[in-house]
Each structure stands twice: as structure tokens, then as C-alpha cells.
Amino acid sequence: MKLLEGKVAIITGASRGIGKGIAEVFAKHGANVAFTYSSSVESAQALEAELNSLGVKAKGYQSNAADFNEAQTFVEAVLADFGTVDILINNAGITKDNLLMRMSEADFDQVIDVNLKSVFNMTKAIQKTFLKQRAGSIINISSVVGVSGNAGQTNYAASKAGAIGFTKSVALELGSRNIRCNAIAPGFIETEMTAKLPEDVVKGWRDGIPLKRGGTTEDVANACLFLASDLSAYVTGQVLNVCGGMLT
């Protein structure tokens, strides 16, 4: 059974990592996928080809979700190409980790712009469409760090906690129009980025997780699938921790 048959999903930052995992699972469940990428043209083209081979329509757009006008232009292009949008996944994100005493203003501002301002930009850009059709599911990718904080990540934690506050407020504002907004807070997810870390560091992280393993991008994607589909028709304003029990 394909849970997203004929739906159109926008996913920001999908050329690799969690975004790519979401795009793949959504396409397998029948969703047409419009995604953004920042610089990795080859990865984006490869993903576009992979998704199209699954029998859905998929298209990558080089667009910066942190720029208000670019977000508007991107959504207009998707509506022109796909006709409608049913699901928005705000996934674009970066880290610029450092202790507060060593963190530059630029590193703070950039993380807030990419991780939090982009959520505002994209939600604002799609809101009119969702209101008109009186339906839509918005899923914001937060982090366990946004729930519990983390030393050396004041900028990242602030951006991800902000996304949770934004999620809850949008759920209250738009619920009467049958528009749902939820957040997912992934824990330690093993991606191309974590593959570059020393094995002993990764093992230390795994040992501290109750399920004794890092999460996969598919673990996060499956949670998104639930929140994007009609299975979660009565779920809004919630934060789903996908973290192997790191937060209980």
C-alpha cells in the first residue's frame, strides 16, 4: 500500500543525508517530489534520476531556503511544474559548532538563517496554497539538541528549539483549516557526515543510546511518512523524538 500516492512533497536540502532518505521513502510510497539543494549539483541530478526511475515525478531546484525571495520563487516554480503541493518538509540545515566564547557572530547568524529563518520562509511561501485547498502537512526537522541543549552547539540548539516553537504556533494558527504542523527531533543519525568521524567517537555515541545503535536516515524518513500521510490525520503540534531512547 502506497501511503502518499499522487501527493506532491517539497523537501528542502535533500541531495544527501536525512533529506535524501526522506525523498527516497516518499517516492517509494508514490509521492511526487520537488527538492532543493545548495551546491551539490551531481548528487541532486543523481537523486532526481533515482526518484524518477521509481515511477514518480521528481525535480531538484538549486535554491536557498534561507533567502525569503528565493523561497517564494521556488514554491511558485514547484506549483507551476507540479500543479499543487500537499506536504512541506523543512529539512535544510547546517552546523557551525563551537563553544560560546569562541563562536563568531557570523557563525551564530548563519546557523539561525539556514536552520530557522528557512522554516519561516518556506512555510510562509506555501501557506496560501494550503489555505486555499484546506489541507496540508508541514513537518519541521528539529533535533534532540533543540529539546535538551548541547554544549558547543548554542547556535544549533537555539535554531532547532526555535523550530519547535514555530511548529507549535503554526499548528495552533492553521489547525482550523485542516493544516497540520509537526516536528521531528532526530538523535544521532548516521550519514555521510558522521562516516568521517573516528570510529571510537561513533562507538562512544552508540554505547550511550538505549537501543545501542545510531539511527538511519530511513528511521527518520519513516517517521516523516507517518506525519505526512493520513495515518496521522489527528496529530498536530507535536514533537516526535526519533532518537533510540536518548530522550525519554
pLDDT of residue 197: 84
Quick check: 30 and 56 in contact, CB under 8 A? yes
**Considering the entire predicted model, what is its pTM?**
0.96
Q: Is the dihedral of CA 101, 99, 13, 230 positive or negative?
A: negative
Rounded average pLDDT over 218-226: 98
Q: Is the pLDDT of residue 1 over 90?
A: no
Tell me the pLDDT band of 222, cut-offs 50, 70 and 90: very high
Amino acid identity for residue 238 in this structure: Q
Residue 140: phi and psi, rounded to 5, are: -105, 125
Q: Is the pLDDT of residue 195 over 90?
A: no
Instruction: For residue 209, give the C-alpha cell.
Output: 543510546
pLDDT of residue 196: 84
pLDDT of residue 248: 81
pLDDT of residue 162: 98
Q: Is the pLDDT of residue 193 over 80?
A: no
Q: Which domains does the chain have, with CATH numbers?
A: 8-240 (3.40.50.720)
Q: Is the pLDDT of residue 39 over 90?
A: no
Tell me the pLDDT tens digit for each residue of 144-179: 999 999 999 999 999 999 999 999 999 999 999 999
Q: Is 37 a catalytic residue?
A: no
Between 74 and 199, where is the model more confident?
A: 74
Rounded average pLDDT over 10-22: 96
Choose the catalytic residue: 37, 61, 156, 234. Answer: 156
User: In whole angstroms, what is the distance from residue 35 CA to residue 80 CA?
Assistant: 14
pLDDT of residue 85: 98
Rounded average pLDDT over 76-105: 97
What is the DSSP secondary-structure string of the chain? --TTTT-EEEESS-SSHHHHHHHHHHHHTT-EEEEEESS-HHHHHHHHHHHHTTTS-EEEEE--TTSHHHHHHHHHHHHHHHS---EEEE-------B-GGG--HHHHHHHHIIIIIHHHHHHHHHHHHHHHHT-EEEEEE--HHHHH--TTBHHHHHHHHHHHHHHHHHHHHHGGGTEEEEEEEE-SB--HHHHTS-HHHHHHHHHTSTTSS-B-HHHHHHHHHHHHSGGGTT--S-EEEESTTS--
